[in-house]
Amino acid sequence: MSGRGFPEERVTTEAIIEVLGFANGHLQPVRLMLRDGSEVVGVPSTVDVHPAANEVFLHPEGSDDTEIGVSLSAIVSAQLV
């Protein structure tokens, strides 16, 4: 989870949640790499680790009216932008 790019190995869910929680508390954008190879960038508005939810919601930069929901199990890495 370095600032230089995504690590070769997948990071743990706990590490991803730590990055998302920090970003959420500091209104910092994150870049998420997903299992399907796609990438999502935004500021986390909610990180829900309850087993029934297990997801994060992000606002894309410049769009406070839009929210993107991503399952935590779909994320392979997360980094602060």
CATH number at residue 68: 2.30.30.100
Residue 5, in any domain of the structure: no
Q: Compute how many other C-beta atoms are within 10 angstroms of the C-beta atom of residue 73.
A: 11
Domain assignment of residue 3, yes or no: no
Least confident span in 1-5, 21-25, 30-34, 59-63: 1-5
Q: How far apart are CA 21 and CA 27, in angstroms?
A: 10
Complete DSSP assignment for 35-71: TTS-EEEEEEEEEE-STTT-EEEEEPTT-TT--EEEE
| Residue 1: inside a domain | no
Tally of structural domains, the chain: 1
Domain residue limits at 36: 13-80
| pLDDT per residue as tens digits for the range 34-75 | 999 999 999 999 999 998 899 999 999 888 899 999 999 999
How many whole angstroms separate alpha carbon 77 and alpha carbon 63? 23
Assess contact for 23 and 43: CB atoms under 8 A.
yes
